[in-house]
């Protein structure tokens, strides 16, 4: 196989060190002192050669010092000369351990590295660790234990904290990479390398921002396609864009778009530092997801019920033993055990009972993973139960998580579980949450496998007509379509709309209403008014011609009073949509910076912001993705047979979503859009 372009950086055979005067620690940077201490504690398996930027001699002499990697831990004014020297001796990669380097100075370093054909991790990086090579090219702390989990972090402080936690919890790493600000080798490049690293089986990422959305998404998809990826992102923003033209733009925040990106890329997002550790435990155990049905084995009803409640709260399912499994297990456990729902072994449970229950659950097809809860009991043996889990674990193909409650009496049992790479937690909720991360990875992998075309297989849309309409609006230097133009655009993509006619006077409105048939709806038509009901520009269920005339006059006066500068084309007249027990929904489009267009779906109507129900997905969509988008919304629970109403036409709703996806793919000028309400 061809080597990855970052192999010289993360898998060097030889290293040169630039750390300043070797015998004068007081003249070295803190990063240099930490680096030298770490290198001395764990000698690198390859060749190490110290170099000084003030080295004398010919280039021929320096050529003998050729190496794969240069580690530079010098004062800021000495970094550029060190990079020049490393470039002259044909070093292929460099890492700069420093802090506080400005972006302008960092750009100079990038230019030097690029001129010499070097890949540069830094500046402002805490470096990286490669435990299998005993290489600690970092200032982040002691060398981590070897393992199959990679850690990538944009925060040096968090990197050091995670390494400290990992030592206590017996978690090992294949790579630990602390990127830092203004680094040339960024998150996308590192993810691409780890996707191809045979020593890495799972990836944990802490991130604060990205420089290139396209490169990041592509690298994340490649990595998540081959191994589990868990992401913790800081800087979540709750508020929407107050300057948005549409309801969707007002309620969809950039952090929610990032959620949709991770989900579609096949990665799992966690919300807290604690969850990141939980996910790291599961990834270190090399669990592969199979579904979201979690079987719970417990010796106490209370902890088991708490775990079952949290299973429901996370949208998982309780794994219940089949009848055959229950009959097989019943003779092997205490008579007081309950097996129909939770596998409650009762207070009489012994280590042998736990083993029997675990063996049966591991083979049951209605259980995708198993949580074993142990509560300290009089005459109980926490260590013996843990020993049984350690014995059964190698023969299981399903995820196994443990919860040993209490503290002083279960400490040695927890250590035994950790040594066997069985994730162990102190509370039932934490254990269920850890399994939830595994299940989320399984679900997101299904989204990753979807590769829909930009156009659906139905009747082709009138793309050219839609583009001409948009170009005519842009020619008038307008940014918002009128209702008539909006409905023409939707119709070009075969999205059903109500018949709408524009009346420029009260008499025209009365004649149109009479032809359409009462009751009708009247709406102000203005390119300057996005939310018509906010200015009194909407009237529903108008029953006769006299009411049409009176409402026309009142509406004009109210709108001119509230927005005197708005351009008013007239009033649109349309028949009231008579849909018995129809559901009011909305479909929206927002454009995120930097990820681009996103399709939103949820409950519609005038209270859309208050309901705040919106699920999101990236275009293009296919039928599978459209159905998953609908299922993630809260309003999905009302779309089946509900309170005497028949179920909605789900196929028609999915078709509208596919048509909106076509619009997004074919019309890059489309920035925001609402269909609200769409009555299904």
Domain contains 606: yes
Domain contains 297: yes
What pLDDT, on the 0 to 100 scale, is given for residue 613?
81
- Clarify whether residues 565 and 612 are in a common domain: no
Q: Residue 173 pairs with which residues in a beta bridge?
A: 146
Whether the Cβ atoms of residue 338 and residue 349 lie closer than 8 Å to each other = no
* DSSP H or E stretch at residue 44: none
**Is the full-model pTM beyond 0.85?**
no
Q: Residue 50 pairs with which residues in a beta bridge?
A: 17
DSSP notation for 165-179: HHHHTT--EEEEEE-
Domain contains 54: yes
pLDDT digits (tens, 9 = 90+) for 295-335: 999 998 899 999 999 999 988 999 999 999 999 999 999 99
- The number of beta carbons lying within 10 Å of the beta carbon of residue 37 is 13
Exposure string of 268-305, with b = 16+ CB inside 10 Å and e = fewer, is: bbbeeeebbbbbbbbbbbebebebbbbbbbbbbeebbb
Q: Residue 572 pairs with which residues in a beta bridge?
A: 502, 523
- Clarify whether residues 324 and 430 are in a common domain: yes
Domain contains 176: yes
Cα radius of gyration rounded to whole Å, the chain: 31
Whether the Cβ atoms of residue 550 and residue 484 lie closer than 8 Å to each other = no
In the numeric block, which tokens belong to residue 496? Answer: 């059903």
Q: Domain of 515: which CATH number?
A: 3.30.1490.20
Residues in the chain with pLDDT values less than 50? 1, 238-243
What pLDDT, on the 0 to 100 scale, is given for residue 246?
61
Instruction: Give me the helices (H) in 252-381, please.
Output: 254-265, 273-284, 301-313, 323-329, 351-363
Domain contains 393: yes
- Clarify whether residues 336 and 475 are in a common domain: no
- Collapsing DSSP to helix, strand or coil, 510 comes out as helix
Q: Domain of 301: which CATH number?
A: 3.40.50.261
Residues belonging to the chain: 680
Domain contains 456: no
- Clarify whether residues 333 and 271 are in a common domain: no
How far is the CA of 617 from the CAs of 216, 237, 602, 637, in angstroms? 18, 18, 12, 19
HEC assignment per residue over 196-245: CCCCCCEEEEEECCCCCHHHHHHHHHHHHHHCCEEEEECCCCCCCCCCCC
pLDDT digits (tens, 9 = 90+) for 587-641: 999 998 888 999 999 988 766 766 778 899 999 999 999 999 999 998 888 898 8
- Clarify whether residues 523 and 538 are in a common domain: yes
Domain count, the chain: 4
Whether the Cβ atoms of residue 388 and residue 358 lie closer than 8 Å to each other = yes
- Cα–Cα distance between 463 and 43 in angstroms, integer? 65
- Clarify whether residues 409 and 522 are in a common domain: no
Give the residue numbers spanning the domain of 568. 463-575
pLDDT digits (tens, 9 = 90+) for 337-347: 999 899 999 98
Whether the Cβ atoms of residue 109 and residue 96 lie closer than 8 Å to each other = yes
- Quote the Cα angle for 630-631-633, to 5°: 70
- Cα–Cα distance between 350 and 379 in angstroms, integer? 10
What pLDDT, on the 0 to 100 scale, is given for residue 252?
56
In the numeric block, which tokens belong to residue 585? Answer: 């929904």
- Strands, sheet with 500-503, edge to edge from the N-terminal-most edge strand: 500-503, 570-575, 520-525, 538-542
Instruction: Give the residue from 519, 548, 575 where a domain finishes.
Output: 575
Q: Is the dihedral of CA 273, 277, 278, 284 positive or negative?
A: positive
What pLDDT, on the 0 to 100 scale, is given for residue 352?
95
Is the peptide bond between 123 and the residue preceding it cis, with omega within 30 degrees of 0? yes
* DSSP H or E stretch at residue 298: strand 293-298
């Amino acid at each position: 196989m061809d080597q990855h372009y970052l192999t010289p950086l993360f898998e060097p055979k030889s290293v040169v060190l630039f750390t300043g005067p070797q015998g004068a620690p007081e003249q070295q940077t803190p990063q240099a002192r930490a680096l030298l201490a770490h290198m001395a504690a764990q000698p690198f398996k390859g060749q190490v050669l110290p170099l000084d930027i003030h080295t004398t001699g010919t280039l021929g002499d320096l050529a003998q010092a050729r190496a794969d990697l240069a580690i530079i831990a010098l004062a800021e004014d000495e970094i550029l000369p060190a990079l020049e020297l490393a470039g002259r001796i044909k070093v292929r990669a460099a890492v700069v351990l420093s802090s506080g380097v400005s972006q302008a100075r960092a750009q100079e370093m990038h230019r030097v590295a690029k001129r010499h054909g070097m890949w540069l991790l830094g500046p402002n990086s805490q470096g990286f660790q490669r435990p299998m090579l005993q290489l600690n090219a970092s200032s982040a702390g002691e060398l981590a234990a070897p393992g199959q989990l990679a850690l990538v972090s944009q925060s040096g402080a968090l990197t050091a904290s995670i390494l400290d936690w990992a030592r206590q919890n017996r978690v090992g790493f294949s790579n630990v990479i602390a990127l830092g600000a203004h680094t040339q080798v960024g998150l996308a490049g590192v993810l691409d390398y780890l996707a191809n690293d045979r020593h890495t089986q799972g990836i944990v990422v802490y991130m604060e921002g990205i420089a290139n959305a396209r490169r990041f998404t592509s690298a994340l998809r490649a990595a998540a396609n081959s191994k589990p990826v868990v992401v913790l992102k800081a800087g979540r923003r709750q508020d929407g864009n107050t300057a948005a033209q549409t309801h969707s733009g007002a309620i969809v925040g950039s952090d929610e778009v990032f959620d949709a990106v991770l989900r579609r890329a096949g990665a799992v997002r966690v919300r807290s530092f604690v969850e990141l550790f939980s996910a790291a435990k599961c990834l270190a155990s090399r669990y592969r997801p199979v579904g979201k049905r979690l079987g719970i084995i417990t010796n106490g009803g209370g902890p088991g019920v708490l775990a079952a409640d949290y299973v429901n709260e996370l949208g998982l399912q309780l794994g219940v033993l089949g009848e055959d499994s229950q009959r097989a297990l019943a003779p092997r456990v205490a008579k007081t055990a309950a097996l129909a729902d939770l596998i409650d072994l009762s207070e009489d449970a012994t280590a042998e009972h736990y083993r029997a229950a675990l063996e049966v659950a591991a083979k049951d097809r209605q259980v995708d993973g198993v949580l074993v809860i142990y509560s300290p009991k009089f005459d109980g043996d926490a260590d013996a139960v843990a020993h049984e889990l350690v014995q059964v674990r190698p023969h299981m193909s399903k995820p196994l998580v443990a919860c040993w409650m209490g503290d002083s009496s279960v400490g040695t049992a927890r250590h035994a579980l950790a040594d066997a790479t069985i994730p162990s937690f102190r509370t039932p909720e934490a254990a269920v949450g850890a399994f939830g991360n595994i299940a989320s990875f399984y679900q997101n992998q299904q989204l990753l496998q979807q590769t829909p075309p930009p156009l659906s297989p139905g009747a082709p849309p009138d793309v050219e007509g839609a583009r001409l309409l948009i170009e005519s609006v842009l020619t008038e230097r307008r940014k918002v379509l009128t209702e008539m133009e909006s409905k023409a655009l939707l119709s070009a993509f075969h999205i059903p709309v109500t018949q709408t006619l524009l009346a420029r006077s009260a008499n025209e409105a009365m004649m149109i209403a009479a032809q359409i048939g009462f009751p009708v709806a009247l709406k102000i038509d203005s390119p300057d008014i996005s939310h018509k009901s906010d200015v009194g520009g909407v009237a529903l269920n108008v029953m006769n011609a006299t009411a049409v005339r009176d409402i026309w006059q009142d509406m004009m006066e109210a709108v001119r009073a509230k927005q005197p500068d708005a351009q008013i084309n007239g009033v649109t007249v349309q028949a009231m949509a008579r849909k018995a027990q129809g559901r009011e929904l909305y479909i929206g489009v927002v454009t995120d910076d930097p990820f681009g267009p996103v399709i939103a779906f949820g409950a519609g109507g005038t209270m859309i912001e208050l309901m705040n129900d919106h699920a999101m997905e990236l275009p293009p969509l296919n039928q599978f993705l459209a159905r998953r988008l609908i299922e993630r919304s809260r309003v999905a629970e009302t779309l089946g047979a509900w309170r005497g109403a028949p179920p909605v036409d789900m196929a028609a709703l999915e078709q509208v979503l596919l048509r909106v996806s076509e619009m997004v793919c074919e019309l890059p000028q489309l920035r925001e859009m609402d269909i609200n309400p769409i009555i299904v």
